């Protein structure tokens, strides 16, 4: 019997996969527990529509990420830090501080998207990578001043 997986099932299939399985396994486990549905015209059409919607949504998100990248690439964030003898910085600028600075500028970026390429523990300019979408990374400049 051919089934269409509607949920991921480790070792068997991922959502959207079409597989041939034994009748008893399909009816007594996969369908009964909501992991799959029988492959027929109606369910196949539903799957294709879901895939088209997902693709359209991905394209929309990618465009939004590209536009956001253009804006973020020109952004320079300033951080005031305390320094000691010889302009040695006490501590460093954290992910939370970067996230808060981006929020003040009006950008809603999660901490998990922010990637510090180097420790921001010295005065001057530093690069911050922000992962907006798979394959789209914005580079924001951070200026650390005393």
11-45, pLDDT tens digit by residue?
999 999 999 999 999 999 999 999 999 999 999 99
Residue 82, pLDDT score: 85
Q: State the distance between the two ends of the chain, measured CA to CA, in whole angstroms.
A: 70
SS3 146: coil
Where along the chain do its domains lie?
2-64, 68-145
Structure confidence by residue, pLDDT tens digits, 76-93: 999 988 888 877 888 888
85 burial level (CB within 10 Å; 0-12, 13-18, 19+): exposed
Rg, Å, the chain Cα set: 24
Residue 43, pLDDT score: 92
For domain 2-64, is the CATH number 2.40.10.10? Answer: no
Residue 86, pLDDT score: 78
Structure confidence by residue, pLDDT tens digits, 91-122: 888 889 999 999 999 999 999 999 987 788 88
List Cβ<8 Å contacts ≥24 apart for 99-102.
101/77, 102/77, 102/130, 102/140
For domain 68-145, is the CATH number 3.10.430.100? Answer: yes
Please identify which residue in the block is written with the tokens 């008893």: 24
Q: Name the pTM for this structure.
A: 0.69
Please identify which residue in the block is written with the tokens 């580079």: 139
**Average pLDDT across the chain, whole number:** 91
84 token code pair: 């000691």
* DSSP designation for 55: H
């Amino acid at each position: 019997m051919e089934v269409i997986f509607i949920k991921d099932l480790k070792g068997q299939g991922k959502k959207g996969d079409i597989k041939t399985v034994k009748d008893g396994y399909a009816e007594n486990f996969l369908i009964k527990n909501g992991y799959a549905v029988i492959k027929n015209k109606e369910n196949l059409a539903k799957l294709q529509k879901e895939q088209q919607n997902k693709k359209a949504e991905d394209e929309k998100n990618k465009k939004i990420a590209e536009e956001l990248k253009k804006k973020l690439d020109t952004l320079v964030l300033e951080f005031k830090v305390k320094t000691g003898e010889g302009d040695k910085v006490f501590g460093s600028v954290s992910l939370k501080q970067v996230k808060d600075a981006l929020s003040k500028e009006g950008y809603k970026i999660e901490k998990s998207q922010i990637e510090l390429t180097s420790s921001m523990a010295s005065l001057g300019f530093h690069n911050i990578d922000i992962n907006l979408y798979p394959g789209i990374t914005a580079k924001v400049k951070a200026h650390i001043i005393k």
